[in-house]
Structure 1
Amino acid sequence: MTNKHPAADTSDVPDRDELAAEYFEVLPYAPYPVQEEAMLAYFTGEQGVLVCAPTGTGKTMIAEAAVYEALRTGTRMYYTTPLIALTDQKLDELRESAVRWGFSPDQVGLVTGNRRVNPDAPVLVVVAEILLNRLLNTEAFDFADVSSVVMDEFHSFNDRERGVVWELTLGLLPAHIRTLLLSATVGNAMEFTSWLTRAHNRRLQLVVGTERKVPLQYSWVDDELLPEFCEKIADGDEIDRRTPALMFCFSRSQCWTTAELLKGKSVIDKIRQAELADYLHAADMSEGAGPKLKQILMRGVGVHHAGVLPRYRRMVEELFQRKLLAFCVCTETLAAGINLPARSVVLPSLMKGPRDKKKLCEIASAQQIFGRAGRPQFDAVGYVYALAHEDDVKINRWREKYDSIPEDTKDPGLMKAKKQLKKKMPKRRTDETYWTAAQFEQLQSADSANLESRGRLPWRLLAYLFGKDPNVQPIRDMIGRRLLTPKGIEEGQRDLNRMLITLWSAGYVELEPKPHAAELPPPPPTNKEKKAAKTAGLFGELLDQMRVDEPKSEPKPEEDNRDPKLIESRGYEVENYRPDSATPTERLERLVHIRSINPLFGVYLADQLAIADPNERIAALESVLEVPGTVARFCRMPSYDDMPAGTLATTRLDGQLLTLGLATSEELGAKKDEDEDIVDRGFGRVMFEEKVWPLTIGEKILRMFRNDFPRVHDVNVRPVWIVGELMEFGGDFNKYVTARKLQKEEGILFRHCLRMILLLDEMANIPPIESTVETWEDPLDELADRLTETCRKIDAQSTDEMLNQPGSEIDDLIELGRRNK
């Protein structure tokens, strides 16, 4: 397509006033007041704008002002999102806009860690980590001609794991680049802009919007059960019905259960059902959850969550966008990801969490969910419905019937009916968690969350920075500029010291000056000492004497209540320690290669696995990929009888764990006489010890790691046998999930396999000293190839997007979105 605005001709480049006028002329519809204010602020401001407005305000139109500017002036710009799913959507949206403005769609590209589309395009949609990576590699990426950076969903700054990405990016952006930060409403927007000015000399105009273009109407439904309610709001013509609707559940299993409740209910008309049937009959949904999902889809209901395979999720998205589905039952992650335009949002519950630990949905998440209701181009109002618990609905219905019979009635029939009703009065269950209309109102009116710095600097980032410059002061200055209280900054500086000491003690850096020992204060009195003090005196002595002959139980270790920050440093001073430099050793580079997991644990794992047998390697690597507990319990490691301890365990780990007192013989697989009981001789009772579960290979390595790295507290493993058993099934994914009855979680298992492939590739890049190419890289590559072949058969598009994109950026990416802390 011919560019109607040849930016290469500098004489044709307009000034900002002219740009603003041009952009307003090409808008598809008149902007809402907050949109107009934000766009004018962007075109007239020197350094950018922070836009805080509710979900559904139309912030994309504001963001596209920066895109239009870059295309029109021949400069470059980055459009960042927190999620890969959002990058795909934004790529399509911006390409459509570029064509509408008269530019080629090829002038908009995409770069994520694993996928590239027109990577040299002037407008690039990227995940946030990519932009940070390029800012850390300015020798490879030139920012001189970059005019702006848009950061969408900027409230991700508050994310405990990934918020540091946005924070560091803001600090590293060159001064000439204007920023357009788009966020849901935040509680401390003014304070945040002041912090940006103070900490990073970046002065942003603040534009705050409180009204949505499509206002929301909230309804508490306490007199209808979910199936009949859904049928009711789906009834009527295009104008009267309240669908399409997103129905949010707070667990994957609840999504399936809720979708099944609509079985037999009429929620779509015959015309749409016929079109839906034609689509589904032509689709291949013969394996895994496909047949079950197909039945649900035929009713006009979709299911969308991480347990659904990506190719099925794409089908649900397409059908919903074509208005062929009345309901999409989904988890809350969809609220911050793919934009499925809906007239209504339905919440069957306001509580989330395990059955015995349910709590009210977080305010920020709830408001994000509410904001998905109402489509600016189609709806005058967005509807948000919260349904009462079915027990409360039944109680309300009973009370209505009961109260309809007067207490003073003399009618024998009515008196008998009232008596019968009283006997059948429904009640709340003691083991159930309920929610109320007041809590629903609380979620609507609660103040928005404040933005603040969260999480520590990632280990991998430290390794990368010290690889470029051993000077510690710039990193200390970076911590001093974080959006924290003075106390929080002090703790951040101490935490940096702990990280430095950890890297030094593991041989990754040489610190100057070296850490010095600290004098630990004496521990406070133990519980036993406190009790002894209370019983001091004559009566205490008598009591102590009486206890001499009491039966002795196994002593419990006393809690050490000293400051854990001092204890974890293993005697090194962290409070006033100020090293000047952290010079990398040859080992440091190994940390930079590990992106998927904590790099310290990744390198430690590789060194241990050098002598492991194939099953041990698979089991150990799988255990660090954090499979959800709801899935992991169905994918447990085989018992010692079915899979005896391997080479690594028997020749190294078991002996070390016993010698160091880190595990008992029973935890290492030693069998105890089942007939041997423990007799409490004082009372003649038979005592039974709690069952001891033998440690898996991953758990053994973790215990050794925690012993060697006492200052690293956030590494965990969850033993599973997924890839291992899949290979036992010859790589036949459908046979595996069917045998394990895990069809409803196959998306989780598929993602686990993809992550395993990426981890195998990373581990292959850090060969241990005890290995060779033939013993280390070749087996890992062979397993990765077999897994890749399996994944392509499951979902070729998602597999290729994840694994097969050309380019070296994946090898360099400082991916902070993992748990690399």
Structure 2
Amino acid sequence: MSAATASKRLDKLEPSAEDSGAPGPEELYAAFESWTQDQGLTLYPAQQDAILELADGQHVIMSTPTGSGKSLVATAAHFFALSRGQRSVYTAPIKALVSEKFFSLVEIFGAENVGMVTGDSSVNASAPIICCTAEILANEALRDGRDADVGPVIMDEFHFYADPQRGWAWQVPLLELTGRAEPGSPGRGSTGSRAQFLLMSATLGDTSRFETRLSEGTGRDVVTVSSAERPVPLSFEYSTTALQTKLEELVTTHQAPVYVVHFSQREAAERAVGLASLNVVSKEERELIRLKLETFRFAKGFGKTLNRLLRAGIGVHHAGMLPKYRRLVEQLSQQGLLKVICGTDTLGVGINVPIRTVLLTALSKYDGTRTRQLNAREFHQIAGRAGRAGFDTAGTVVVQAPEHVIENEQAISKARAKHGDDEKKVSQAIRSAGKKKPREGFVSWSEKTFERIITATPEPMVSRMRVSYSMVLHLLERPEDPIRAMRRMILAADETPARKAQLQRQALQILRELLTAGVLERLDSPDEDGRTVDLTLDLQDNFALNQPLAPFAMAAVELLDTESESYALDVISVIESILETPHQITGAQMKQLKSEKIGELKAEGVDYVERMRILDELTPPQPLAELLTQQFEVYRGSAPWVSDHALQPKSVVRDMLERAFGFTDMVNHYQIARSEGVLLRYLSDAYKALRQTVPENLLTEELQDLLEWLGEVVRQTDSSLLEEWERLKAGDDPEKLAELAAMEADISALDHPDRVTANARAFKVMVRNAMFLRAELFAQEKEAKLAELDAEQGWDADRWGEALDAYFNVYEDLYTDAQSRGPSLMRIDVAPANTPDPARRWWRAVQVLDDPQSHHDWGIHAWIDLSASDETGAPVVVMDRVGELG
């Protein structure tokens, strides 16, 4: 529904007899149904039921299978709210889904009517339709309660109510946007709540307690739409055929695209590589894929692997990939060009990959604590992705038997094929082959497990309510006594009496700490709103939405010495300490640290027991950890609410800088190709936090250089993460939003960063890093590593070895500390004469080597090919010589 169409529909609506100021339910339903017909859509019975109830003002719980059109029902809720002059809110568990829905609604209702708030960015936040993460709505509900300016609330993927970490954010709106007022409670009227809920998920299970909560709390009826009939029916199969053979069968019988589900990113990537030899696409499809990928830039490492797989019609999809790679896989899948996609179970959270067949490689998974069988909700959430509405008449769900079972079945079949009915020889052949056994700790499953889980209903959702400092502070903004409000919310929560008592004790402890710290003060008598306590300070807007520890970081940065040589790096360490830890990266750092340390200890002759003791005490690099921890304890004294969050000192961005790494260098050094998306998101978060947190008066020139470098590294690796954020921050210009929406559907727009040399400031930092990396390896006498960088330019290990001999014949050592990498020892000529190729653009770079006598008369001399750098997104260094300065 375009903005013009929506406006036209609204203009045609006539007020109902009951409400002279707004259209009636029948008119609303008729207008929306007319629009769906204009779009060539026919409403399913379940959709009709839900939309009619929404038009009539009732709450709706939509527990229908994946592919049954819940998104269209949500669109109807927004349409009805817009026509009634109400503000509607859409929430989802992940930012990517919120962003996707934002662009979709912009296209339907127009940019002026749709806004988005995710913590990272806010655009058109006063719009009548808002897309946000669940935590944003929860905080609004805490601040405003039933007085919140909220009409229809669409909570997508509502099964996240049972998520251990985030479930509280799905429960709070149900408690605080509904609920009867206590007698005599100021600020809370006795009329019903304005909020109207649409709760949606394919795997809700028993919804009776939600029906009771909403009905009793708002005085509105609640209708649960739980049609078990899928628009695209599913068939189920338990397979004892080898996986590769099974996939070939599914492709040849036209049951592709097939999504192969794994429960680790490593398994998904390795499986895809193992399937690369499958012949699943036609010659014509190969050529079409080639044309689609013609202008797409794949980075080294996993990018080259993915490029080869995609050209064979095989995709990979998991959270550790670069966003541009995931979106590329999604778009090629939508165009029918990928026949097999290997991925993880995260596909169950609203990711847009149309598939016909879901093949699960296992019915057990490691959940972070133990290996266990899948529960019914997990199985149905994944299986429900099979079958594409509008494309398929049926979908297929295949579960593979355990690998050892399949191998044993194959051995039996092979023996019978060879020996026929001679059971003695068959048994002998099977014994000779040896019965395959499961690996240690393996949790098995069987066909009976499969049959049981197919018919099992999703488990009841368990409440995950909690209390925190930020909850109390948000409640203080409401015109009523926050102590009573907190008590009422806890007593209304979906928890056991014992758990409610525990939550009340926690809330009282938080209040005492806030009073002790002087953040709250007791009032001699209740004020006009009934408050018995009040804040003694003004909190910044949205203090708990984005980086809750940002105020601490700002205070810590102000304590640093701007004249210190390490100031810029120390600021980065402060900011890194407030970011969520990327455990895949810090784990890789720890693995390499232990590997290097154990080599040193063995060389020193340290015995095994002592080696193990030393290794157990190692931690990943944590610059400023002691200082930051001390300051954090001091800061908590005046701001107790930071106790909701843990300080996490670490070194990822700083590690890159100290090692003079680019993105690819970092990935290769720590062997994290399968987690490069995790690294990129962390670098993006660090860049945003630096931009948003460090005051301008504390931005030194060196820090500004590093900030420009970091932004350009992210942009050149995958421009989508920052482009969307920066454009959204720029405002709600309809043309910009339309451009972003168009990019979402355009493969050619997935990978189009500006020329890396266009940002000269950032590019100079990249050149400095590239040159200093060679100086570091030179100091360590690692000619093989240097050859990896420059062998294509004719600088193999022998040539670097000769250069090392020449330098160390003159000097005994080479320094590579912070002073060694300073700007005084890096020379860049941006307009050199006598370049290698006048037809190309060049810079001249010399990394002066920091010798022990500080003569500084030797250097690494190189040309920087700007034209090639723009093609690759990183400096292309063409080595010239190592020798005395001219």
Same fold (TM over 0.5): yes
Unaligned runs of 5+ in 1: 514-578, 644-670, 679-684, 766-772, 810-821
Residue in structure 2 matched with residue 212 of structure 1 by the alignment: 230
The answer to whether the aligner puts 1:165 opposite 2:169 as a matched pair is yes
Q: Which one of the candidate residues 400, 406, 409 is aligned to 1:396?
A: 409
Q: Which amino acid in 2 is paired with 1:317?
A: E
Q: Which amino acid in 2 is paired with 1:425?
A: G
Per-residue CA distance 1:61-103 (angstroms, 9 max, x = gap): 322222332455565433332222223333454456x4xxxx7
Residue in structure 1 matched with residue 198 of structure 2 by the alignment: 180
Aligned length: 682
Instruction: Tell me by how many angstroms 1:274 deviates.
Output: 1.3
Instruction: Tell me by how many angstroms 1:420 deviates.
Output: 4.4
How far apart are the structure 1 equivalents of 2:522 and 2:704?
37
The answer to whether the aligner puts 1:58 opposite 2:69 as a matched pair is yes
User: Contact 2:415–2:429 at 8 Å: present in 1 too?
Assistant: no
How far apart are the structure 2 equivalents of 1:219 and 1:297?
27
The answer to whether the aligner puts 1:755 opposite 2:678 as a matched pair is no
Residue in structure 2 matched with residue 272 of structure 1 by the alignment: 285
Q: Which amino acid in 1 is paired with 2:470?
A: R
- CA spacing shift, 1:621–1:638, aligned 2, 3 Å: farther
Per-residue CA distance 1:738-779 (angstroms, 9 max, x = gap): 3333333211001111222344356547xxxxxxx8568998
How far apart are the structure 2 equivalents of 1:604 and 1:496?
26
Instruction: Tell me by how many angstroms 1:120 deviates.
Output: 5.6
Per-residue CA distance 1:229-261 (angstroms, 9 max, x = gap): 1121111xxxx4111122221111111111112
Q: Which one of the candidate residues 431, 434, 440 is aligned to 1:431?
A: 440
Please give the residue correspondences for 1:600-749 in structure 2 after superposition, counting only pairs within 5 Å: 603=552, 607=556, 610-611=559-560, 614=567, 615=569, 618-619=572-573, 621-622=575-576, 625-636=579-590, 691=615, 693=617, 696-697=622-623, 700=626, 720-728=650-658, 732-749=662-679
The answer to whether the aligner puts 1:36 opposite 2:48 as a matched pair is yes
Q: Secondary structure at the match of 1:234?
A: helix
- CA spacing shift, 1:472–1:779, aligned 2, 3 Å: farther
Q: Which amino acid in 1 is paired with 2:257?
A: P
Please give the residue correspondences for 1:438-587 in structure 2 after superposition, counting only pairs within 5 Å: 438-466=448-476, 471-510=482-521, 581-586=532-537
User: Contact 2:276–2:314 at 8 Å: present in 1 too?
Assistant: no
Residue in structure 2 matched with residue 125 of structure 1 by the alignment: 131
Please give the residue correspondences for 1:270-419 in structure 2 after superposition, counting only pairs within 5 Å: 270-353=283-366, 357-402=370-415, 409=422, 419=428
Residue in structure 2 matched with residue 800 of structure 1 by the alignment: 723
Q: Secondary structure at the match of 1:323?
A: coil
- CA spacing shift, 1:691–1:24, aligned 2, 3 Å: closer
Q: Which amino acid in 2 is paired with 1:789?
A: E
- CA spacing shift, 1:782–1:128, aligned 2, 3 Å: farther
Query: Which region of structure 1 is more displaced relative to structure 2, 372-381 or 160-169?
Result: 160-169
Q: Secondary structure at the match of 1:635?
A: helix
How far apart are the structure 1 equivalents of 2:541 and 2:473?
7
The answer to whether the aligner puts 1:49 opposite 2:60 as a matched pair is yes
TM-score (norm 1): 0.73
Residue in structure 2 matched with residue 255 of structure 1 by the alignment: 268
How far apart are the structure 2 equivalents of 1:333 and 1:131?
24
Q: Secondary structure at the match of 2:347?
A: helix
How far apart are the structure 2 equivalents of 1:54 and 1:43?
22
Instruction: Tell me by how many angstroms 1:187 deviates.
Output: 3.0
How far apart are the structure 2 equivalents of 1:143 and 1:595?
18
Per-residue CA distance 1:339-358 (angstroms, 9 max, x = gap): 22211111112222289942
Q: Which amino acid in 2 is paired with 1:5?
A: K
CA RMSD of aligned residues (A): 4.2
Q: Secondary structure at the match of 1:793?
A: helix
Please give the residue correspondences for 1:13-28 in structure 2 after superposition, counting only pairs within 5 Å: 14-27=23-36, 28=40
User: Contact 2:139–2:471 at 8 Å: present in 1 too?
Assistant: no
Q: Which has the higher contact order (CA 8 A, sep 6+)?
A: 1
- CA spacing shift, 1:446–1:609, aligned 2, 3 Å: farther
Per-residue CA distance 1:676-725 (angstroms, 9 max, x = gap): 999xxxxxx99995655256457647976689899999865666432012
Query: Which region of structure 1 is more displaced relative to structure 2, 588-597 or 387-396?
Result: 588-597
User: Contact 2:334–2:353 at 8 Å: present in 1 too?
Assistant: yes
Instruction: Tell me by how many angstroms 1:493 deviates.
Output: 0.6
How far apart are the structure 2 equivalents of 1:151 and 1:15?
24
Instruction: Tell me by how many angstroms 1:798 deviates.
Output: 1.5
Per-residue CA distance 1:384-414 (angstroms, 9 max, x = gap): 11112222211111123345677984xxxx9
Instruction: Tell me by how many angstroms 1:804 deviates.
Output: 5.2
Residue in structure 2 matched with residue 232 of structure 1 by the alignment: 249
How far apart are the structure 2 equivalents of 1:355 and 1:207?
34
Instruction: Tell me by how many angstroms 1:790 deviates.
Output: 2.3
Residue in structure 1 matched with residue 153 of structure 2 by the alignment: 149
Q: Which amino acid in 2 is paired with 1:633?
A: G
User: Contact 1:594–1:602 at 8 Å: present in 2 too?
Assistant: no
Residue in structure 2 matched with residue 667 of structure 1 by the alignment: none
Instruction: Tell me by how many angstroms 1:473 deviates.
Output: 1.8
- CA spacing shift, 1:592–1:42, aligned 2, 3 Å: closer
Q: Which amino acid in 1 is paired with 2:273?
A: E
Q: Which amino acid in 1 is paired with 2:208?
A: M
Unaligned runs of 5+ in 2: 16-21, 178-191, 525-529, 733-886
Q: Which one of the candidate residues 104, 114, 118 is aligned to 1:112?
A: 118
Instruction: Tell me by how many angstroms 1:418 deviates.
Output: 5.5
Q: Secondary structure at the match of 1:805?
A: helix
Query: Which region of structure 1 is more displaced relative to structure 2, 436-445 or 50-59?
Result: 436-445
Q: Which amino acid in 2 is paired with 1:328?
A: I
Instruction: Tell me by how many angstroms 1:147 deviates.
Output: 4.7
How far apart are the structure 2 equivalents of 1:64 and 1:788?
36
Q: Which amino acid in 2 is paired with 1:7?
A: L
Residue in structure 2 matched with residue 560 of structure 1 by the alignment: none
How far apart are the structure 2 equivalents of 1:688 and 1:79?
52
User: Contact 2:321–2:674 at 8 Å: present in 1 too?
Assistant: yes
How far apart are the structure 2 equivalents of 1:686 and 1:79?
57
User: Contact 1:89–1:338 at 8 Å: present in 2 too?
Assistant: no
- CA spacing shift, 1:417–1:475, aligned 2, 3 Å: closer
User: Contact 1:760–1:781 at 8 Å: present in 2 too?
Assistant: no
How far apart are the structure 2 equivalents of 1:112 and 1:584?
26
How far apart are the structure 1 equivalents of 2:351 and 2:277?
29
- CA spacing shift, 1:475–1:393, aligned 2, 3 Å: same
User: Contact 2:258–2:355 at 8 Å: present in 1 too?
Assistant: yes
Please give the residue correspondences for 1:97-108 in structure 2 after superposition, counting only pairs within 5 Å: 98=108, 107-108=113-114
